[in-house]
Amino acid sequence: MNKLIAMLCVWNEADKFLKECLFSLNSFVDKIVILDDGSTDTTVEICQLFPKVVLYRLEKNLGQIDESKSRKMLFDFALKQEPDWILAPDADEIFEDRFIREVRKLMKQPVNWFSFHRIDFWTMDKYFADLQPSMCSMRLMFRNLPGKSKSYLSMKIHGPRTPAWIFRDDNKNGISTDFRIKHYGFIKKESRIRRIEWNEKYNVSWYLKTIYQLEKDSPEKLTQWSERI
């Protein structure tokens, strides 16, 4: 049977959506490889509640210095589980139910990767329509191909979740699906403020524009979420 693992970096996620994310992943993957990036809250304790979690811990936060390095470290840990396929969500994202039902069928297809459409939620049941095109085709599930390079693109902020070859792989080798991943990271105002401050510090203009636009349009352009059969 094909082995599916999820890998994610976490840092002080206790008051966010980590528990919901892990509850969902625990229901359909074989292992969840987590790199705790120096959390000072109860993030580690939450991770340890889930039997499929394989937890690695850093004493000091690395992602705030160079996120691509922490992502690469996580990937190396994930490979120790000898996966056939890898999922790379963040701790504030949850795959829609339809994907969870069909993921094992996807793994039988002769392709290298699948991309997903990220949905930015503003409340627990309402979301914004597409504001950031690059989020509409995120390659977050990929086959473990031992012959491929394990290198990551060097990015100190918003470091890539997957190896560099995923970004460069030809479109004919993967499938852009209509499966959605629910992103809850914008729901809490304090989280939005932290993101704005962080991106202003590094002058990440495209990300700031997205958050500012969400703030400006709220709540007039919200759409009610509905699971698809």
DSSP at 121: B
Angle at 74 between CA 107 and CA 7, to 5 degrees: 35
Q: DSSP assignment of 34-92, as one string?
A: EEEES--SSHHHHHTTSTTEEEEEESS--TTT-HHHHHHHHHHHHHTT--SEEE---TT
Q: What is this structure's pTM?
A: 0.90
Of 62, 116, 61, nearest to 94 by C-alpha is 116
Predicted pLDDT of residue 194: 75
Q: What is the predicted pLDDT for the residue at 132?
A: 53
Tell me if residue 117 falls in helix, strand or coil.
strand
Contact yes or no for 88/161 (Cβ under 8 A) = yes
Cα 100 to Cα 180: distance, rounded to the nearest angstrom? 11
pLDDT tens, N- to C-terminus, the chain (229 residues): 699 999 999 999 999 999 999 999 999 999 999 999 999 999 999 999 999 999 999 999 888 788 889 999 999 999 999 999 999 999 999 999 999 999 999 999 999 999 999 988 888 998 876 555 555 689 999 999 999 999 999 887 778 999 999 999 998 999 999 999 999 988 887 777 777 776 677 666 656 566 666 666 566 678 899 998 7
Contact between 211 and 186 (Cβ < 8 Å): yes
| Domains observed in the chain | 4-124+135-186 (3.90.550.10)
